[in-house]
Structure 1
């Protein structure tokens, strides 16, 4: 069973490090979900702090092993009427292929459900076909809603192509 604990201020640098490794890392231990169409960091300590401050009901939940090593994390945020937003789901790339992401996703859904969530929503960059398919195999469906990519705001990374947007996926819990 995966135990998720809310992140504290002191955890933010470690969350940022894992996020950047999982989303933008390269080399032998790169994630299968690496965002090769974006350049730069996925997040910074400053931007994660700002995002959390701007979304008071949001939290990053951590998954640590028995020795305290960070295995993964996920952003959860109640939106409205039983709908929660899930984002920044990350597991250590050097541990992928062991169904850790699937376990973390299930634990995050359970956590939200226990707190009143009836639907989970997320956004995924439209060109991430493999990742979208992974979520669809776990019960998420494309809603048809498409949101613009924040071109000109390099805090998310510098886009290397001009056709990016976010697709919305949802799943009933």
Structure 2
């Protein structure tokens, strides 16, 4: 897909669509569910209240949205600058019903370009350790496991209810 991607900071009015797409991409079920669905977590991936709170807690962060020419939300991501020009990328989500069009890699490249144009030298992300297929997808795009492992926030219902007790986050990073 060679579609041009223009990322724009999300506005308050975009939050319902962002939440809906995040929940569809991360927790959706049925024939149009994503290959990246987190089947070992129950409940919503996020809510408007959680997203607002996360943005308020990280003043430099923003959710960037990608709309097609008709104005339909195609995807979004969280980008947060941090010290030493290492930016955090999270909540990367694209429409599950259009994943066969390479939307994920298109959005990932656009997010990397956006961060690089603003001074980022590296992108870092966390992925739940049992998501082998997703980790491999990021590795094919130049990300590498750093060896750092962070604890999963058991007891914090903001991310859903885990159905297993062996979850953690692995850290991946890529030079830009």
Q: Please state which band the TM-score falls in when normalised by the shorter chain.
A: over 0.9
Map Cα deviations across residues 59-105 of structure 1 (whole Å, 9 max, x no partner): 00000001100000000000111100000000000001111100000
Q: Counterpart in 1 of 2:88?
A: 85
Q: Counterpart in 2 of 1:30?
A: 33
Separation in structure 1 between the aligned mates of residue 108 and residue 97 of structure 2, nearest angstrom: 18
Aligned residue for 1:96, secondary structure, equals helix
Per the normalisation by structure 2, the TM-score is 0.98
Aligned residue for 2:101, secondary structure, equals coil
Map Cα deviations across residues 13-58 of structure 1 (whole Å, 9 max, x no partner): 1100000000000000000000000000000010000000000000
Aligned residue for 2:82, secondary structure, equals strand
Structure 2 residue ranges without an equivalent (≥5) = none
Number of residue pairs aligned between Structure 1 and Structure 2:
173
Matches within 5 A, 1:1-173: 1-173=4-176
Separation in structure 1 between the aligned mates of residue 154 and residue 97 of structure 2, nearest angstrom: 31
Alpha-carbon shift at residue 135 of structure 1 (Å)? 0.1
Structure 1 residue ranges without an equivalent (≥5) = none
Aligned residue for 1:169, secondary structure, equals strand
Ranges of 4+ aligned residues in structure 1 off by more than 3 Å:
none
Map Cα deviations across residues 107-157 of structure 1 (whole Å, 9 max, x no partner): 000000000000000000000000000000000000000000000111100
Q: CA RMSD in A?
A: 0.4
Separation in structure 2 between the aligned mates of residue 87 and residue 70 of structure 1, nearest angstrom: 17
